[in-house]
Amino acid sequence: MACPDLALLFGRPGEASRGITWCLENQGTVIFPALNSALYNSKEFPNPTEFDPQHFLNKDGTFRKSDHFMPFSAGKRICAGEGLARMELFLFLASILQHFKLKPLKDPKEIDISPLMSGTVTFPRPYQLCVLPR
């Protein structure tokens, strides 16, 4: 039985190049990949809903690249600007940290870093920060 053409409301659209046996059988069906299944994979990232830099470190403390971490999508539909975006973010954050001290206005243990949800999107909670020149 063929399912009607679907458009899952996540990410950037791709196009089905061949039928997928579980549901999509029509070539040309628009597909929006849901990356949350990879980004929240508890086998790859223990405690996937918590901020944990250990997710990206080997046992000896060196950086470990994970194929499951793909915030810019994957495959031939990957964001063409990923390299530029990463470089710009690094330069922007390095410049801020070079010129300023960042301090929370309350005890860091009291800051809730769990994300807010809005439909299919998560984003950080707002909180106040003191920016002091170095």
Mean pLDDT of the chain: 76
Element (H, E) at 129: strand 129-133
What would the pLDDT profile of 86-128 be if each residue is shown by its tens digit?
899 999 999 999 999 999 999 999 988 888 888 777 788 888 9
pLDDT computed for residue 90 by the predictor = 94
Mean pLDDT score, 72-94? 82
Instruction: Please indicate whether residue 12 or residue 100 has the higher confidence score (pLDDT).
Output: 100
Instruction: Please indicate whether residue 31 or residue 111 has the higher confidence score (pLDDT).
Output: 111
CA–CA dist 118, 124 (Å, integer): 11
Q: Per-residue pLDDT for 43 more than 80?
A: yes
Q: What is the pTM of this model?
A: 0.47
Instruction: Please indicate whether residue 38 or residue 86 has the higher confidence score (pLDDT).
Output: 86
Confidence of residue 6 (pLDDT cuts 50, 70, 90): very low
User: Which residues are CB-neighbours of 74 under 8 A, at least 6 positions away?
Assistant: 33, 35, 38
